[in-house]
């Protein structure tokens, strides 16, 4: 029989181990060659034992959905081969070690749903490999660093329900591989950077921030894969960018509770064949409601209330 100490990959997800941090940590200490440790939803308790730091060869560490109630060890930053770190929904607390962000091999970082976990984003290295970054529902704060543009491979970023503040760096426009961007429920201010170079973007949410300024049409040009836009509960002003109605995959457009104004033009040249939800409520739009909006057969939900629409021309009154 092969010596169990030679195990390189250990998958115990969903197995009810129900042991403390010292117990399960020490039970793994003999597995010196371990490269993959996946123990999600094992009813583990904490704290995370320092013996886990001995596994210097780890490339994948998954401890999601346990009751660790623990700090994240500073020594995790010494996992020089780490590619995937997932410790979401674990009751983590204290400050997240910023040096973990500097592990050049790290591609996936998910520490979401740890409301008592504090931290901030450091400057990112040009050597960073991050593709997936999920810090949602934690207690991170501070600004979004301008060096986020160094995350050239980043496809998913979820920083929702944070305490982030400051302006969104214009360098975000350089994130050409973005597919999913959620910065909702923060305190960001200032202008929306152009995302026109993120041709693969499918989801964009900046709901409930303090963003302002115009929404230039060219910010959305060429985003042919965009399915959902939610910029509600901000202070955007100016016209509704007509280019968004030409996006071929768009299903949801939500811009409620802003300061958008002007006349909503007709949709005769709109080519979006999939639009299902349109919410422009609580703005300062005026003039007639374009009758062509009701020719978009896929629309299931239209919310235009609390604007200043009137009955002139050939439009429809609200």
**Model pLDDT for residues 28-65, shown as the tens digit of each residue:** 888 888 999 999 999 999 899 999 988 999 999 999 99
Question: Which tokens belong to 60?
Answer: 């994948």
Instruction: Inform me whether the pLDDT recorded for 2 exceeds 60.
Output: no
pLDDT at 318: 46
3-state secondary structure of 204: strand
Structure tokens at 143: 């600004």
Do residues 98 and 119 make contact, with C-beta atoms less than 8 angstroms apart?
yes
Q: How confident is the model at residue 273 (pLDDT cuts 50, 70, 90)?
A: confident
> Which range has the worst mean pLDDT, 17-26, 89-98, 266-275?
266-275
What is the span of the domain harbouring residue 18?
1-119
Total Cβ atoms within 10 A of residue 212: 15
| Residue at 25 is within a domain | yes
| Domain assignment of residue 94, yes or no | yes
Q: Is 62 inside a domain boundary?
A: yes
Q: Are strands 210-213 and 187-190 parallel, antiparallel or unpaired?
A: parallel
Would residue 228 count as lying in a domain? no
pLDDT digits (tens, 9 = 90+) for 64-94: 999 999 999 999 999 999 999 999 999 999 9
Inter-residue contact 46 to 20 (CB < 8 Å): yes
Please tell me the chain's helix, strand, coil percentages from 3-state DSSP, rounded to the nearest 5. 15, 25, 60
Residue of higher predicted confidence among 273 and 62: 62
Q: Is 73 within a domain?
A: yes
Confirm if 99 and 75 have CB atoms less than 8 A apart: no
Residue 75, SS3 per DSSP: helix
CB contact at 8 A, 253 and 276: no
Question: For residue 4, what pLDDT is reported?
Answer: 63
Which sign does the torsion angle of CA 207, 211, 215, 218 carry?
Answer: negative
Residue by residue, DSSP assigns 246-270 as G-TT--EEE--SSEEEEE----TT-
As a three-state string, the secondary structure of 208-230 is: CCEEEECCCHHHCCCCCCCCEEE
Q: What angle do CA 223, 229, 230 make, to 5 degrees?
A: 155
Cα 298 from Cα 164, distance rounded (Å): 36
More confident residue, 1 or 46: 46
Q: What is the pLDDT of residue 270?
A: 60
Q: Is residue 317 exposed (0-12), middle (13-18) or buried (19+ Cβ within 10 Å)?
A: exposed
Q: Which two tokens stand for residue 79?
A: 């996992």
Q: DSSP characters for 18-31?
A: ---HHHHHHHTTT-
The answer to the question of residue 11 being in a domain is yes
In whole angstroms, give the CA distance from residue 133 to residue 84.
11
Give the predicted TM-score (pTM) of the model: 0.93
**Model confidence pLDDT, tens digit, residues 288-304:** 998 888 888 899 999 99
- Give the pLDDT of residue 156: 98
Does residue 259 carry a pLDDT above 60?
A: yes
Kindly state the average pLDDT of the residues 116-133.
Answer: 96
Alpha-carbon distance of 267 to 284, in angstroms, equals 19
How many structural domains is the chain composed of?
1
Express each pLDDT in 166-195 by its tens digit: 999 999 999 999 999 999 999 999 999 999
- Confidence (pLDDT) at 267: 74
Give me the CATH number covering residue 77.
Answer: 3.80.10.10
Residues 29 and 20: their CA atoms lie apart, in Å, by 14
76 in a structural domain: yes
pLDDT for position 18: 83
For position 311, what pLDDT does the model report?
59
Q: For residues 317 and 310, is the Cβ–Cβ distance under 8 A? A: yes
Using one digit for the tens of pLDDT, what is the confidence trace for 199-229?
999 999 999 999 999 999 999 999 999 999 9
User: Is a pLDDT exceeding 90 seen at residue 11?
Assistant: yes
Residue 3 has pLDDT above 80, yes or no: no
Q: Is the confidence at residue 316, as pLDDT, over 80?
A: no
Percent of the chain with pLDDT over 70: 95
Residue 75 lies in a domain: yes
Contact 154, 176 (CB under 8 A): no
**Mean pLDDT, residues 114-134:** 96
């Amino acid at each position: 029989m092969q010596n169990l100490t030679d195990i390189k990959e250990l998958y115990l997800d969903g197995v009810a181990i129900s042991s403390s941090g010292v117990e399960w940590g020490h039970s793994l200490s003999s597995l010196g060659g371990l490269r993959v440790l996946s123990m999600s939803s094992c009813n583990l308790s904490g704290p995370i034992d320092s013996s886990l730091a001995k596994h210097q060869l780890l490339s994948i560490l998954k401890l999601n959905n346990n009751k660790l109630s623990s700090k994240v060890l500073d020594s995790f930053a010494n996992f020089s081969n780490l590619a995937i770190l997932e410790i979401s929904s674990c009751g983590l607390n204290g400050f997240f070690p910023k040096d973990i962000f500097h592990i050049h091999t790290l591609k996936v970082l998910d520490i979401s749903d740890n409301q008592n976990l504090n931290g901030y984003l450091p400057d990112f290295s040009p050597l960073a490999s991050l593709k997936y970054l999920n810090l949602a529902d934690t207690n991170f704060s501070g600004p979004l660093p301008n060096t986020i543009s160094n995350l050239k491979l980043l496809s998913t970023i979820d920083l929702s329900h944070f305490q982030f503040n400051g302006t969104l760096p214009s360098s975000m426009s350089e994130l050409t591989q973005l597919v999913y961007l959620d910065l909702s429920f923060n305190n960001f201010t200032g202008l929306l950077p152009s995302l026109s170079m993120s041709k693969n973007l499918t989801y964009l949410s900046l709901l409930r921030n303090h963003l302002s300024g115009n929404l230039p049409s060219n910010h959305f040009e060429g985003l042919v894969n965009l399915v959902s836009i939610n910029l509600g509960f901000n202070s955007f002003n100016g016209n509704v960018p007509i280019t968004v109605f030409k996006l071929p995959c768009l299903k949801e457009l939500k811009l409620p509770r802003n300061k958008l104004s002007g006349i909503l033009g007709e949709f005769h040249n709109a080519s979006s064949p999939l639009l299902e939800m349109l919410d422009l409520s609580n703005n300062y739009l005026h003039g007639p409601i374009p009758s062509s909006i009701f020719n978009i057969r896929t629309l299931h939900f239209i919310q235009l209330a609390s604007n200043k629409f009137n009955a002139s021309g050939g439009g429809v009154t609200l």
